[in-house]
Amino acid sequence: MNFSTFELIVERGAFHYDSFVLKDTILTFFPEKENISNTTNIELKKYYEKSEQKISRKQLKKFIEKLQKSNIWELNNNYTCNSTCTSALKVILKIEDKEKTIQCQDFKRDCPEIIQYIEDKLIDLHHKKLKRIFLPG
């Protein structure tokens, strides 16, 4: 596989509105708002700073294999839930000439397990522990 054709975008909603982009072996976190000066809490500051992490080809290959085994290409494009309090999760996957966009109205309720796994895995590979939390502001 030509890894340079691989791109995975994860966009998070609700209190975050941030995104992760994995292109080849570079994983980049893009905050909704960058460098907010009134953020003095060290734990929260990382949510407002763009950051990058290089992952190994071995990690990338293993991750791609799991995605392909999950039948991600057969998933629906949209998943909705019956709740008014939701936090969206959108995944855009590009491998060679294939592209798939999957949008979940809520990242936990009625969202396929593999989509939840993708968000969690990117957080893990990024090494800054940017889990979903309530962010002020």
Per-residue model confidence (pLDDT) at position 132? 63
Residues in the chain predicted with pLDDT less than 50, given as ranges, are: 135-137
Q: How confident is the model at residue 81, as a pLDDT? A: 79
Provide the token pair at 21: 């982009």
Query: What's the pLDDT score for residue 2?
Result: 67
DSSP assignment of 38-107 equals T---HHHHGGGS-EEEE--HHHHHHHHHHHHHTTGGGS-SEE--S-SS---EEEEEEETTEEEEEEESSS
Note the pLDDT of residue 41. Answer: 67
Task: Quote the pLDDT of residue 130.
Answer: 65
Q: Which domains, from first to last, does the chain contain?
A: 3-126 (3.30.1560.10)
Q: What's the confidence (pLDDT) of residue 100?
A: 95
